[in-house]
Amino acid sequence: EIPFDALTYLTGECNYGGRVTDDNDRRCLMSILADFYSPDIVQDPKYKFSQSGTYYAPPKSEYDQYVEFIKELPLSQTPEVFGMHDNVD
């Protein structure tokens, strides 16, 4: 079993927590992490990080296939990569 709560706490509170001093910013950070540290990513092989489906975890592959996957991602990221609306930009 993957300890998602512990991973979220370690990343959000311990790693970034000292750098994020505003309570609203911390809430935003923890909300974003909840999309990435979720049991759904393990249980659903088609789990998408964005509504458009552009950003998702690639299936288990070889190194060269991961490199190709990365090369196919957009060069300029929009707020969508963080699960936010385009108006954020």
- Per-residue three-class SS string for the chain: CCCHHHHHHHHHHHHCCCCCCCHHHHHHHHHHHHHHCCHHHHHCCCCECCCCCCCECCCCCCHHHHHHHHHCCCCCCCHHHHCCCHHHC
pTM for the predicted model, two decimal places: 0.67
Q: In the prediction, which pLDDT does 17 show?
A: 66
Q: In the prediction, which pLDDT does 46 show?
A: 85
Q: In the prediction, which pLDDT does 12 show?
A: 85
Q: In the prediction, which pLDDT does 27 show?
A: 87
Consecutive 10-residue averages of pLDDT for the chain (89 residues): 91 79 85 88 87 88 95 88 79
Q: In the prediction, which pLDDT does 67 show?
A: 96
